[in-house]
Structure 1
């Protein structure tokens, strides 16, 4: 969850997974981050 509480991120599993950032509370996809890893994400953090 972003510190502003307006966004949250989900990391997918599988081959070439994406990170999807959603707007809150509408739950609309805000950004899709691709090609960050080959297998999976262990940790997500907003900076």
Structure 2
């Protein structure tokens, strides 16, 4: 596993849920319009 350092304001934990041909992660509504980074922290399970 690689190590990455990211500066930010908040952290949430969630699970990527299947949608169409991809996946999505829900974030709080008040994050709309903000720049967001997503980091995978485990191997996907199918």
**TM-score when scaled to structure 2?**
0.22
Larger radius of gyration: 2
